[in-house]
Amino acid sequence: MIEANTRAQFDLTGEQRQIAALAAEIAQREIAPHIAAWDRERVFPRELYAKLNDAGLMGIIVPEQYGGVGADYVSYALAIEELARVDAGTAVTLSVHSMICSAIVKLGDEAQKEQWLPKLATHNAIAGFALTEPDAGSDAASIRSTAKRKGDCYVLNGRKQWCTNGGCATVTMGMFRTGVPGPKGVSAFLIDAATPGIVVEKVTEKLGIHTSNTVDLAFDDVKVPYEALLGREGDGFGNAMTALTGGRIGIAAQATGILAACLDASVMFAKERRAFGKPIGAFEGVSFKIAQMATDLDAARLLTYRAAALAGAGKPFAAEASKAKLFASTAARKHAAEAVQIYGGYGYTTEFPVERYYRDAKITEIYEGTSEIQQLIIARSLLGRLD
């Protein structure tokens, strides 16, 4: 790795560097030897998360009073980046898990925090997210799944699509319609995965991130207690957007990690592979690609760390998170393609990891808000709503 050349200039604290080093060490020891097989066989390595749990990474942003590490958001971004440098699927699993932990910290009442945070931080439990539906993706306010109040319970019905961690979660944050059409009729719930009536209808076959668990969930007369409501009834759309805004830092970090892996692999290959009597890195057609890759990696890190620092300081960060995700995901997808090009025919084979980076990078431009949604958020932060 060429971390010394690309991250040393950032003013990170000793604790932040220690967490990054811990995540990198775990990734190299526990993931790197297995990732090619896991990716090929589409394995969700459930046992890996017990090791991440033991290292404190599952509770990295959970406050210490609930059993977590209580680290800052920059430390969290660094950990996600280092995991993604080896496996983007593991990184997004932890990112979404942490996104739900953060939502519970910010939006949950004390009983919900005491019920779920210790489990998610220390008891080898995983949190999932259920928002998207067949007819509601970027237009999340159009969800049709319903939650009807019956006495001291809600009864949930509907279908959720592409639920990250949905098939392995202990608790899932789900969005359901409790009222009128539009965003004001949506409410958020913390749903115990053991509740009767929840069915995994399909495991999603994906282009990349094969180690991430992605499923379609069916909710058929799922009865949850009133206490499962996260925040107030009708605040669910805003709660989902709050969760996604924080989650975009994780996806920006994931994309940054993929980009870092592309740079690592490209530099190594450019030094070792020879053509016309010299290393291919001696040719500008290759060296200029690597130069741009390194430049964009620094830019992605700066944007991501800035958004994370603002979030940790309790300052507004929505536009900054969108800028980080937009830039880092675009750069990851672009430079993963360039890494394949540098490897030539080798890059198109599964013998080398750059083809996996290429497949994994694309999703970072789509989930937790497409690039177009990020552009809309950024534009509105400057122009306001003109429609």
Catalytic residues: 368
What are the distances in angstroms from CA 192 to CA 57, 116, 200?
Answer: 22, 10, 14
**CA angle, corner 18, sides to 74 and 314, nearest 5?**
20
For residue 111, report the phi and psi dihedrals to the nearest 5 degrees: -65, -40
Q: What one-letter code names the amino acid at 378?
A: I
Q: For helices 284-312 and 73-84, give the axis angle rounded to 10 degrees.
A: 150
End-to-end CA distance of the chain: 48
Please give the Cα distance from 106 to 63 (Å, whole number). 11
Helix residue spans in 27-107 (DSSP H): 35-41, 46-54, 73-84, 88-107
* DSSP three-state, residue 108: coil
Report which of 326, 273, 336, 328 is spatially closest to residue 300, judged by C-alpha positions. 328
Q: What is the 3-state secondary structure (H, E, C) of 282-341?
A: HCHHHHHHHHHHHHHHHHHHHHHHHHHHHHHCCCCCHHHHHHHHHHHHHHHHHHHHHHHH
Q: Is residue 353 classed as helix, strand or coil in its secondary structure?
A: coil
The two tokens of residue 318 are 């929505």
Residue type, 102: S
Beta bridge partners of 217: 160, 200
For residue 218, the Cα-to-chain-centroid distance in whole angstroms is 23
Q: Which residues pair with 172 in a beta bridge?
A: 128, 191
